[in-house]
Amino acid sequence: MDRVGSSRSQRVSGEVHVIIGPMFAGKTTSLLRRIMFEGNNGRNIALIKSSKDTRYAIDSVVTHDGVKFPCWASSDLLSFRQKLGEDAYEKLDVIGIDEAQFFEDLYDFCCEAADQDGKTVIVAGLDGDYLRRSFGSVLDIIPLADTITKLTARCEVCGKRAFFTFRKTDETKTELIGGADVYMPLCRQHYVNEQTVVEAAWTVLESRKLHHQTESSSHVEAAGSAL
């Protein structure tokens, strides 16, 4: 066996652990707890977050409770190895990824880091968007995962377990960075009820806009006929 084959066979087996759930479920807190546990046990750790997340700090992962941990902010994951440096990357044992839904290359990075490089990768991110659709590539890495942890929040309305993220604003784009001012966690019953109310309000609003446009057009046509 050549040296390359020998080094690969002796490399520690990698792992992928996925933490998912709605907003305010404690995903980042759980990620930091596991990262700090690994660090306290002598393993070399690194934490990455999306550079899109600038809510609390640029170079730190921050929980909603204000707990901070230094990190690398990046727009992608596959360039992390080069940015960190080959020697430093080789010494890494554990890589944490926060706000994983924003990384398009999440699947490829987890495959490379765990399967080829023997790293333990701990991923935290939203599994669904505000419309309960798959968000980013988080669900794509479920088949790669050694463990999957689904966290829940507390429903803002009734206090029961919340599985879904409800958006308070009428912005429709999928990626909208925000905290409690934009989102709240809801149980199924109140998510469906709140979503129904919002959709009804949007329908009424659009109907009023259409009615106003029709009236405006009628006035213009009437004025034109009078001339």
Predicted pLDDT at 80 = 95
Least confident of 50-54, 117-121, 129-133, 200-204: 200-204
Top mean pLDDT of 10-14, 81-85, 145-149 is at 145-149
Predicted pLDDT at 217 = 58
Position 88, amino acid: A
Question: pLDDT tens across 123-140, in order?
Answer: 999 999 999 999 999 999
Predicted pLDDT at 16 = 98
Options 90, 99, 215, 221, the catalytic residue: 99
- Please give the model's pTM, rounded to 2 decimal places: 0.78
What distance in Å separates the CA atoms of residue 63 and residue 31, rounded to the nearest whole number? 10
Predicted pLDDT at 208 = 63
Predicted pLDDT at 216 = 58
Predicted pLDDT at 182 = 83
SS3 category, 1: coil
For the segment 150-172, the average pLDDT, to the nearest whole number, is 91
Predicted pLDDT at 213 = 64
> What DSSP line would sit under 148-213, residue for residue?
EEE--EE-TTT-SEE-EEEE-S----S----STTTEEEE-HHHHHHHHHHHHHHHHHHHHHHHHHH
Stronger pLDDT, 72 or 180, i.e. the higher one: 72
- What count of other Cβ atoms lies within 10 Å of the Cβ of residue 151? 18
Predicted pLDDT at 164 = 96
Question: pLDDT tens across 6-19, in order?
Answer: 444 456 789 999 99
Top mean pLDDT of 14-23, 58-67, 160-169, 198-207 is at 14-23
pLDDT level of residue 3 (50, 70, 90 thresholds): very low
Pick the CATH number of 152-227 from 3.40.50.1970, 3.40.50.720, 3.30.60.20, 3.40.1410.10: 3.30.60.20
Domain locations along the chain: 1-151, 152-227
Stronger pLDDT, 165 or 57, i.e. the higher one: 165
For the segment 217-221, the average pLDDT, to the nearest whole number, is 52
Asked whether the predicted pLDDT for residue 220 surpasses 50, the reply is no
CA atoms lying within 13 Å on the CB side of residue 5: 2
Asked whether the predicted pLDDT for residue 218 surpasses 60, the reply is no
Q: What is the CATH number of domain 1-151?
A: 3.40.50.300
Predicted pLDDT at 1 = 45
Predicted pLDDT at 68 = 75
Strand 120-126 relative to strand 94-98, pairing: parallel
pLDDT level of residue 203 (50, 70, 90 thresholds): low
Q: Is 191 annotated as a binding residue?
A: no
99 is catalytic: yes
